[in-house]
Structure 1
Amino acid sequence: MTDTNTANLCEQIIRTDFGPLTGTVVKVLLHHGRLPLSQIIRYTKLKARTVRACILVLVQHNVLWHAESEIDGEVLEVNVEECLLRMRYGRYVWQAEQLFGKAAAEIVQLLLDHGKLRPPDIVSQLSVYDPVKGTTLYSQALHKLVDSFYLKPSTVLSHISPVDKRIKYEKEEKTKISGFPTAKQLREAKETAEARLRREEEEAEKIGMKRKAKDHSNHHKSKRKALDENTVDDDVFFRVNCDKFNIHLRNKVIADAATERYNSYAGLVLRATLKATEAKQLSLFDPRSDPTSFADVATHIAEDEDLAGGFVLSSSKKPSHMSLLKEYYGILAAADNPTPAGRAGSFISINGSKVQVEYELIGRRLKRRVLETVARERHGDDAVRIIRLLLDTGKMDEKQISKIGMMAPKDVRPLLTAMSAESLVSIQEVPKTADRNPTRTFYLWYVDLQKAYSVLLVSLYKTLYNIACRRQAEEEEPSVKAVLEKRQRSDVSQDEERLLTRNEREIIAQWEKKREKLTVLQARVEEAVFILRDFKAVGSDEQ
C-alpha cells in the first residue's frame, strides 16, 4: 500500500496511458496492497477476462510485480517507481536521439510502447518500409544501445517483488549473529542483504550479449586467428534501462547547479568532466565518479570555447587552456577554503592530476536547497534561518533558537509550530522525571531530514497530480474540446488557416499557451522530485 497522493498520481498515469479499466485495476492494488487475482476481480467488479487482460498489459510494461504468499499463493503488487518513471519517457527518447541518432530513438520509443521485445521483433517492426537498409541500420543501433547498457534484458527477477527476497536475505544474515544483535550488526546485515540482491540482479542482466567467434584470415592461409565479437542475443527480451537514462538527468542537474553558483564556463568544465567518465557511469548509487585526468577532460571541451571569458584577467597575456582548466578545478574543489564547510560546498575532489565529481556531496546539498526553498515559500526567510541553525548546531530548545537566531520569542513559537505541522522540523521530548510531566520536560527542536524529504516528496506528487488534472480539465472544456476535435479532421489539419475561423484559432492559441505553462511547471516539479528521490548515492545518515 502507498499513500493517497502517490496512489492518485500512479492511477492517473496508468489511466492516461492504458485506459480506465487498467486504471481501475491499479487503483485497487494501490489502495489495498498486494492481492491475488480472485480478490482483484472482486474489488474491481469487472469481468475476470477483462482483469486478466489488464494484468497481462501491466506485467508486459513492468508495472506489476509477482510475489508468492504462503496464504494466498501468487499475488500481484504495483511497482510504484516504475509507474512514476513513465513521466520521463519523452526525455529518454530525446536523450537516445542525441546520443545515438534517430534510429536509436525509434528503438527506445518502440520498447517504451511495448514494454519489452526481442531483437528480431524490434528490427522487423521498424524496418518494414526498408527491409534491406533498415535491417542493418536498426541492428547496429540496437547493438549500440545494448552494449552501452541503455537497454537491459528482462529477467525473472525483474518481475518478482524484491521486498520478499530482501526480507529473506536479511533474516538469513541475522541468524548468523550470535547473542543479542547491536544496531551496527543489524545495519550491516541489511547492507549485506541489499548488496546480495543487487549482485543477483547484475548477474541476471548479463545475458543480453553473447560471444560469437569469427575467423579472419590474411594472405597466408597458415596464419588464422579467431576473434571474439559481441552480438545481441536474439532470444532475450529487452527493456529500457531507466537508471542509465537517469544518469544523464543527474549530470544535467549537477552541471546546472555549477552554472547557477559560478558561471556558464564553470558549468561547461563540470559538464566536460562528467562527459569524460560517462561510459563508466552505470549506477546512481555511486558516491563519486571514476577518476579522470585533466588532459582527458580537455578533449571534451570544444576548441572554440574560450574559458578565459569566465575570469577577469589582470594582465593582457592570455593563459593557456590547461592553466584555465586548473583554475576552474580549484574553484569547483573549493581549494581556497580547506575547511569542513568548504569541503561540503565543493563539486569535485582533486588527487594529483586526477579529478572526481562528488555525487554524494552535491546531492546532499541540492536536497537541502529544495527543503530551504519550500520553507521560504511557505513561511518566509525566518524559517530558513531556523532550519540552517538547527542543521548546523543540532537539537536546541525554543529559547536557544530565539537567542542565537536573534528572533523575538513571540515569533519563534508559532513559526516552529507551523513548520512542525508540515514535518519541516521535529521535536524531541527529554523528561526530567519518570512521570514525564510536561512541566518537567525539555522540548528540543531538530530537523529530521529523512522525514522532511519524504513529506516533501509526497507533496510534490500531489502537485504533479493536480497539474495533470488541470491539463485534462482545460482540454475537456466544451469550447476547447469542440475545436480540438475539429482540428483532428484530415481536411482541417491540412489547411487550418482557411478552414478554422479566427475565433477557433484564438481558442487553440490560448489552450496551447496554457498547456505550455503547465508543461514547464511540471518539468520544474519533476526536477525537484528527481533530486529528492533519485540521488541514491546519499545515505540515510544525512544529519
Structure 2
Amino acid sequence: MVSQNGIKYAVHIVSTNFGDLVAKVCECLLRRGPLTYQNIARSTEISLPQVKNCLLLLIQHNCVQAFSLEPAGDAADLSKPINTKYIALFDNIIHRTRFSKFIAVVSEELDKECVELFQGLLQHGRLSLKKMIDRAKSGRDDCAVEDTIRGNLAKLLDSRFVERCPAGEAVLSPPAEEGTGARKRGAKSSKIVAKSITIEERILDAAAPMEAKRFLFTTDADCKKTSENSSEVLGGEKRKYDSLESERETSADDSHVPWRVNFEEFLHRFRHKACVENVRERLDGGAAIALSAMLEATRSMEKKVKSDKTVPLSINTIYEEVMKKEAGRSMTLDHLRASLALLGCERGSNDLYMIDLKAIIKHAQTEEVEAIVLKRYGRDAYRIFRLLMKTGRLQETDKISGTAFVDKKETPKILYHLWKDEFLHMEKVIVTTPRQLQFLLWKVNRSTLWPHLLDEMYHTALNLCQRVAYELEQENEILNLPPHKRVGPLEERFTRLRNVRMLLDASLMRLDDALMLFHDF
C-alpha cells in the first residue's frame, strides 16, 4: 500500500515528465487501484480518447500495465466481453528519478555507444531494434549502423541492463480457480500464497516474458548460422527442417520485438553496493572485499532483489573471485576465512558459505534511523532511542533514564517528544497494590516506524523537487540569457542558482538512496 505522500511524489514526477493531464489519469489509478478506461474517464471527467492516449503514453514508459481476467465457466461464458483494466506501477514511476544513476552504472561497464543506446531506451521507454536503427541512422543509409546497434544491444542484454518488454495485456486466471488450486495444495501453502503475493505482483508475473526469452537476442551471426544449417538439411529430415524454419522466423521477428530498461538489475546492483559499503564502515575492508566477491560470483543466480541470503559458495570459489580484484590480491586464505567469520557467515555441512543479506540491510536501516534521531533530537534522545532499538521490548521510564545515563527530569520530555513524532510506541500500565500507580512503558515498533519514516522521506523528496522547480521558475529570465550577457549582478544570480540547484540535486540523490534502502531493498 502506497502512502499519501508517496502518491503525491509519484504524481509530481509524472506531471513533470508528461504534463498535468497524464498525471491526473495516473493519480486516479494510484488512489483507486485497477480500473477500466471507462471508469477512469468517469472519475477524472476526461474524454475517452484523451484517457486512451494518456494510458498509451504511460504504458509506453512502463508506468502502467494492462491486464484482464481469464473467463471462467462454460464455453457460453466466453462470448462475454472481456474488460481490460489498468494498474499504475508505482515503483517504475519512482525509478524515473534514478535515470542518472542507471546511466552512471552502464558508463562504468560499457562503451559510449552502448550508453547512447541505453539513453534512448530511457528517453522513449520502449524501442524495437528497427526503431533503434532508424534513430541511429538519422536519414543516412549506412549498413554499418545496423551492425553496430545489434552489437550494442547484445552487450546491454549480456549485462542484463535491457530486457524484453512484458506482454501488452496480462491475463490472470479467475480467483475461484486460484482458490481451488490453493485448497488442493493444502492449507499451509494457500496461506503462504495469500500472504506473499499482491495483485500487482500477480499481474507483473503474468505479463513477464519467459526467463528463457527475457534476454534472448538473435545476432547476424546466429541468423547466418541458421541459414547455413537450413541449406544442409536433407530432404527426408522434415522435423529438423521445421525446427530451423521456426528459428528463422523468430530471428526475423527480432527487429520488431520491443525492449526496455531492466530496472530489477540496477536494484540488484544498488542493493549489493549498499551492503558492501555498510560492511566496510561497520567492520573492515577485508570483510567488504569478501562480501563483494560473493555477491559478484552469485549475481546471475539471484532470482529476486530482496533475497534473504547469498547463494552458497565454497571457500575456493570465493577466493578465486577475490583474486580477480586488485584489492583482494593481498588476502591470504586464512585472512579470507577470518573475514567470513567476521561477517557471521553461515557454514553448511558441505562446507559452503552463505551471508545473511537481510541482516545487513536491517543494520543499515537501523543506523539510518538512529542518524535521523541524532540530528533531529540530539545526543540524549539518540542514546535513549538506541537503547530501545537494541532491547526490542517495553522499558519503564526510570529504567531507561538509568541505563542510557540521561537526566531523570529530561527523560520523560524526550520520550514524549519521540512518541508524539511517532518514533516510539507507548503503553500505560496501572498497578493497584497498596496504592494505585501508573507506569509508562516505551519501545520502538519497527512495523509502524519504518512506513512512517518512508512516508516522511517521500514528503521531503517532493518538497525538494518543488523547490528546484520554484528556483528555476524564479530565475527563468537569467537562464534564457546568452552567457556573454550575464555580467555583474546577473552573473551572481546565475552562480547562486547553479549552486542552489547542485545542493538540492545532491540532497535529493542522497535521500533517494535512503528511499531505496527502506522501500526497494
Q: With the length of structure 1 as denominator, give the TM-score of the two structures.
A: 0.75
The alpha carbon displacement at 1:515 in A equals: 0.9
User: Which position in structure 2 is the counterpart of 1:453?
Assistant: 450
User: Which position in structure 2 is the counterpart of 1:300?
Assistant: 324
Change (3 A) 1:167 1:421: farther
> 1:131 pairs with 142, 145, 148, which one?
142
The alpha carbon displacement at 1:460 in A equals: 0.5
1:90 aligned counterpart, secondary structure: helix
The alpha carbon displacement at 1:466 in A equals: 0.6
CA deviation string 1:120-150 (max 9, x = no partner): 2223322445732221122112122224432
User: Which position in structure 2 is the counterpart of 1:486?
Assistant: 481
User: Which position in structure 2 is the counterpart of 1:78?
Assistant: 88
Q: Does the CA-based 8 Å contact 1:127-1:134 persist in structure 2?
A: yes
Whole-Å Cα distance in 2 between the matches of residues 516 and 405 of structure 1? Answer: 40
Whole-Å Cα distance in 2 between the matches of residues 50 and 506 of structure 1? Answer: 44
Pair 1:242 & 2:263 matched: yes
- Opposite residue 204 of structure 1, the aligned amino acid is M
User: Which position in structure 2 is the counterpart of 1:61?
Assistant: 61
Q: Does the CA-based 8 Å contact 2:164-2:209 persist in structure 1?
A: no
Q: Which residues in structure 2 correspond to 1:146-157 (within 5 Å)?
A: 146-156=157-167
The alpha carbon displacement at 1:532 in A equals: 0.7
> 2:275 pairs with 247, 254, 258, which one?
254
- Opposite residue 206 of structure 1, the aligned amino acid is A
1:427 aligned counterpart, secondary structure: strand
Whole-Å Cα distance in 1 between the matches of residues 177 and 402 of structure 2? Answer: 50
1:501 aligned counterpart, secondary structure: coil
User: Which position in structure 1 is the counterpart of 2:400?
Assistant: 401
Whole-Å Cα distance in 1 between the matches of residues 108 and 303 of structure 2? Answer: 18
Q: Which residues in structure 2 correspond to 1:271-286 (within 5 Å)?
A: 271-281=292-302, 283-286=304-307
- Opposite residue 271 of structure 2, the aligned amino acid is R
Change (3 A) 1:159 1:80: farther
Whole-Å Cα distance in 2 between the matches of residues 34 and 196 of structure 1? Answer: 13
> 1:99 pairs with 94, 109, 118, which one?
109
- Opposite residue 82 of structure 1, the aligned amino acid is N
1:188 aligned counterpart, secondary structure: helix
Whole-Å Cα distance in 2 between the matches of residues 256 and 137 of structure 1? Answer: 37
User: Which position in structure 2 is the counterpart of 1:527?
Assistant: 513
User: Which position in structure 2 is the counterpart of 1:538?
Assistant: none
Identity over aligned residues, as a percent? 22
User: Which position in structure 2 is the counterpart of 1:7?
Assistant: 7
The alpha carbon displacement at 1:331 in A equals: 3.8
Pair 1:504 & 2:504 matched: no
Whole-Å Cα distance in 2 between the matches of residues 347 and 198 of structure 1? Answer: 35
User: Which position in structure 2 is the counterpart of 1:204?
Assistant: 210
User: Which position in structure 2 is the counterpart of 1:119?
Assistant: 129
The alpha carbon displacement at 1:347 in A equals: 6.8
Q: Does the CA-based 8 Å contact 2:319-2:336 persist in structure 1?
A: no
Change (3 A) 1:169 1:271: farther
The alpha carbon displacement at 1:174 in A equals: 5.7
1:445 aligned counterpart, secondary structure: strand
The alpha carbon displacement at 1:84 in A equals: 0.8
- Opposite residue 450 of structure 1, the aligned amino acid is S
User: Which position in structure 2 is the counterpart of 1:188?
Assistant: 192
Pair 1:19 & 2:23 matched: no
RMSD: 4.0
Q: Does the CA-based 8 Å contact 2:290-2:340 persist in structure 1?
A: no
User: Which position in structure 1 is the counterpart of 2:48?
Assistant: 48
Q: Does the CA-based 8 Å contact 1:100-1:141 persist in structure 2?
A: no
The alpha carbon displacement at 1:167 in A equals: 7.2
Change (3 A) 1:210 1:274: closer
> 2:335 pairs with 314, 327, 330, which one?
327
CA deviation string 1:397-438 (max 9, x = no partner): 3344344444444333332332223332223567889xxxxx
User: Which position in structure 2 is the counterpart of 1:375?
Assistant: 373
User: Which position in structure 1 is the counterpart of 2:152?
Assistant: 141
Q: Does the CA-based 8 Å contact 2:183-2:190 persist in structure 1?
A: no
Q: Does the CA-based 8 Å contact 2:128-2:258 persist in structure 1?
A: yes
CA deviation string 1:264-296 (max 9, x = no partner): 666455444433444444531322333262442
Change (3 A) 1:140 1:301: same
The alpha carbon displacement at 1:159 in A equals: 5.3
Query: Alignment length, in residue pairs?
Result: 480
Q: Does the CA-based 8 Å contact 2:293-2:318 persist in structure 1?
A: no
Whole-Å Cα distance in 1 between the matches of residues 417 and 462 of structure 2? Answer: 25
Q: Which residues in structure 2 correspond to 1:382-397 (within 5 Å)?
A: 382-393=380-391, 394-397=393-396
Q: Which residues in structure 2 correspond to 1:318-357 (within 5 Å)?
A: 321-323=330-332, 326-327=334-335, 330-331=338-339, 333-334=341-342, 346=343, 356-357=354-355
2:304 aligned counterpart, secondary structure: coil
1:87 aligned counterpart, secondary structure: helix
> 2:459 pairs with 457, 462, 468, which one?
462
Q: Which residues in structure 2 correspond to 1:357-372 (within 5 Å)?
A: 357-372=355-370
Single out whichever of 140-149 and 68-77 deviates more from structure 2. 68-77
Q: Does the CA-based 8 Å contact 2:294-2:310 persist in structure 1?
A: no
Change (3 A) 1:476 1:139: same
Change (3 A) 1:408 1:103: same
Whole-Å Cα distance in 1 between the matches of residues 189 and 427 of structure 2? Answer: 26
Whole-Å Cα distance in 1 between the matches of residues 174 and 132 of structure 2? Answer: 34
- Opposite residue 356 of structure 2, the aligned amino acid is E
1:333 aligned counterpart, secondary structure: helix
Whole-Å Cα distance in 1 between the matches of residues 403 and 323 of structure 2? Answer: 50
Change (3 A) 1:54 1:198: closer
Whole-Å Cα distance in 1 between the matches of residues 39 and 195 of structure 2? Answer: 35
Q: Does the CA-based 8 Å contact 2:298-2:310 persist in structure 1?
A: yes
Change (3 A) 1:485 1:216: same
User: Which position in structure 2 is the counterpart of 1:415?
Assistant: 414
The alpha carbon displacement at 1:260 in A equals: 2.6
- Opposite residue 21 of structure 1, the aligned amino acid is L
Single out whichever of 525-534 and 372-381 deviates more from structure 2. 372-381
Whole-Å Cα distance in 1 between the matches of residues 116 and 395 of structure 2? Answer: 56
The alpha carbon displacement at 1:385 in A equals: 2.9
Whole-Å Cα distance in 2 between the matches of residues 91 and 145 of structure 1? Answer: 16
User: Which position in structure 2 is the counterpart of 1:90?
Assistant: 100
- Opposite residue 301 of structure 1, the aligned amino acid is K
Single out whichever of 53-62 and 355-364 deviates more from structure 2. 355-364
2:127 aligned counterpart, secondary structure: coil
Change (3 A) 1:329 1:459: farther
The alpha carbon displacement at 1:61 in A equals: 1.3
- Opposite residue 375 of structure 2, the aligned amino acid is E
Whole-Å Cα distance in 1 between the matches of residues 378 and 422 of structure 2? Answer: 16
Change (3 A) 1:356 1:102: farther
Q: Does the CA-based 8 Å contact 1:333-1:350 persist in structure 2?
A: no
